[in-house]
Amino acid sequence: MKAAWKEKAIRLILFATASTSILIVIGIFVFVGKEAGQFAIKPGLKELLGSRWMPVSFQKESFGLLPLITGSLLVTALATLITIPFGIGAAVYISELARPTEREILKPFIEVLASIPSVVIGFFGLVVLVPLIKSSFGLSTGLTALAGAVLLALMAIPTVVSISEDAIRSVPVSYKAASLALGASKMETIWKVTVPAALPGIVAAIMLGIGRVIGETMAVMMVTGNAAVITASPFDSVRTMTATIAAEMGEVAFGSTHYRALFCVGIVLLLATFGLNIIAQKFLKKYRMG
Amino acid sequence: MRTVASQNIIAWLIRVMTYLIVFVIASIIIKIIWNGLPVINWEFLTTMPKRGGSEGGILPAIVGTMSLALGTIIVALPLGMATAIYLSEYATAGRFTRTVRLAIVTLAGVPSIVFGLFGLGLFVIFLRFGASIIAGCLTLACMILPIIIVSSEEALRSVPKSLREGSLALGATKWQTIYKNVLPYSMPGMLTGSILGIGRAAGETAPILLTVAAFYLPRLPKSIFDQVMALPYHLYVLATQHPDIEKVRPLQYATALVLLALVLGVNLVAILFRIHIRKKYRW
Pairing verdict, β A62-63 and A53-54: antiparallel
Q: Which residues contact A171 (CB under 8 A, 6 or more apart)?
A: A193, A194, A197, A198
The b/e string for B82-92 (b: 16+ C-beta within 10 A; e otherwise) is: bbbbbbbbbbe
Q: Best residue in A2, A11, A25, A224 to probe B by mutation, most B CBs within 10 Å?
A: A25
The b/e string for A206-237 (b: 16+ C-beta within 10 A; e otherwise) is: bbbbbbbbbbbbbbbbbbbbbebebbeebbbb
Nearest C-alpha neighbor of A203 from the set A109, A121, A83: A83
Q: Where are the domains of chain A?
A: 2-41, 53-289
Tell me if B203 and A119 make a contact (CB, 8 A cut-off): yes
Identify the pLDDT of residue A43. Answer: 82
Q: Which residues contact A199 (CB under 8 A, 6 or more apart)?
A: none
How far is the C-alpha of A248 from the C-alpha of A188, rounded, in Å? 52
- CB-nearest partner of B113 from A127, A211, A215: A215
B228 min Cα distance to partner chain A (Å): 15
Identify the pLDDT of residue A231. Answer: 85
**Single-letter code of the amino acid located at A218:** M
Residue B119 pLDDT > 60: yes
Is the CB of residue B75 less than 8 Å away from at least one CB of chain A? no
What CA–CA distances, in Å, run from B26 to B19, B20, B175? 10, 10, 48
| pLDDT tens digits along A34-77 | 989 988 887 888 888 887 888 887 777 888 889 999 999 999 99
**Radius of gyration (C-alpha) of chain B in whole angstroms:** 23
The H or E element spanning position A57 is: none
Q: Which is more confidently placed, A132 or A2?
A: A132
Q: Which residues contact B140 (CB under 8 A, 6 or more apart)?
A: B68, B72, B76, B115, B201, B204, B207, B208
| pLDDT tens digits along B65-93 | 999 999 999 999 999 999 999 999 998 88
pTM value > 0.95: no
| pLDDT tens digits along B52-63 | 777 788 999 999
Residue B283 pLDDT > 60: no
Dihedral (Cα; A174, A177, A182, A186), 10-degree rounding: 130
* Planar angle of CA A201, A205, A206, nearest 5 degrees: 120
Is the CB of residue B123 less than 8 Å away from at least one CB of chain A? no
CB count in 10 Å sphere of residue A160: 28
* Chain A nearest-CA residue for B77: A17
Identify the pLDDT of residue A47. Answer: 81
How far is the C-alpha of B58 from the C-alpha of B245, rounded, in Å? 17
pLDDT band, very low/low/confident/very high, at B138 (cuts 50, 70, 90)? very high
**Mean of the pLDDT values across residues B86-103?**
91
Residue A183 pLDDT > 60: yes
Residue A288 pLDDT > 60: yes
State whether the Cα torsion B105-B106-B111-B116 is positive or negative.
negative
pLDDT band, very low/low/confident/very high, at B1 (cuts 50, 70, 90)? very low
**Mean of the pLDDT values across residues B41-59?**
83
**Mean of the pLDDT values across residues B156-177?**
91
Could you tell me what percent of chain B has a pLDDT over 70?
98
Q: Best residue in A123, A207, A216, A260 to probe B by mutation, most B CBs within 10 Å?
A: A123
User: Got the DSSP string for A80-97?
Assistant: HHHHHHHHHHHHHIIIII
What CA–CA distances, in Å, run from A156 to A135, A142, A272, B275? 26, 22, 17, 26
Residue B139 pLDDT > 80: yes
Q: Where are the beta strands (DSSP E) in chain B?
A: 49-50, 55-56
How far is the C-alpha of B84 from the C-alpha of B104, rounded, in Å? 11
* Chain B nearest-CA residue for A278: B106
The H or E element spanning position B227 is: none
- CB-nearest partner of B83 from A17, A35, A123: A17
Identify the pLDDT of residue A287. Answer: 67
Nearest C-alpha neighbor of B257 from the set A109, A123, A157, A158: A123
How far is the C-alpha of A207 from the C-alpha of A272, rounded, in Å? 12
**Single-letter code of the amino acid located at A66:** L
| pLDDT tens digits along A251-282 | 888 888 899 999 999 999 999 988 888 888 88
* Chain A nearest-CA residue for B126: A31
Tell me if A113 and B126 make a contact (CB, 8 A cut-off): no
How far is the C-alpha of B24 from the C-alpha of B16, rounded, in Å? 12
Q: Is A196 helix (H, G, I), strand (E, B) or coil?
A: helix
**Mean of the pLDDT values across residues B102-128?**
93
| pLDDT tens digits along A164-177 | 998 999 899 999 99
Is the CB of residue A105 less than 8 Å away from at least one CB of chain B? no
Query: Could you tell me if B234 and B216 are in contact, meaning their C-beta atoms sit under 8 angstroms apart?
Result: no
Nearest C-alpha neighbor of B264 from the set A269, A173, A109, A58: A109
How far is the C-alpha of B234 from the C-alpha of B44, rounded, in Å? 14
Residue B148 pLDDT > 70: yes
- Chain B residues lying within 8 Å of A263, measured CB to CB: 117, 121
- CB-nearest partner of A32 from B22, B114, B264: B114
- CB-nearest partner of B209 from A3, A246, A262: A246
- Tell me the average pLDDT of chain B: 89
Is the CB of residue A270 less than 8 Å away from at least one CB of chain B? yes
Is the CB of residue A210 less than 8 Å away from at least one CB of chain B? no
B106 min Cα distance to partner chain A (Å): 6
Is the CB of residue A275 less than 8 Å away from at least one CB of chain B? no
Rounded to the nearest 10 degrees, what angle do helices A145-169 and A100-115 cross at?
140
- CB-nearest partner of A21 from B85, B104, B236: B104
| pLDDT tens digits along B199-248 | 888 888 899 989 988 777 878 888 888 889 999 999 999 998 888 888 88
Q: Which residues contact A265 (CB under 8 A, 6 or more apart)?
A: A65, A68, A241, A244, A245
CATH architecture of A53-289: Orthogonal Bundle (1.10)
Q: Is B221 helix (H, G, I), strand (E, B) or coil?
A: coil
- CB-nearest partner of B1 from A24, A187, A262: A187
Is the CB of residue A288 less than 8 Å away from at least one CB of chain B? no
Identify the pLDDT of residue B282. Answer: 62
**Mean of the pLDDT values across residues B82-106?**
92
User: Got the DSSP string for B145-185?
Assistant: HHHHHHHHHHHHHTS-HHHHHHHHHTT--HHHHIIIIIHHH
**Single-letter code of the amino acid located at A230:** I
**Mean of the pLDDT values across residues B149-166?**
90
| pLDDT tens digits along A128-164 | 999 999 999 888 888 999 999 999 999 999 989 998 9
State whether the Cα torsion A274-A276-A278-A284 is positive or negative.
negative
Partners of A63 in the beta sheet?
A53
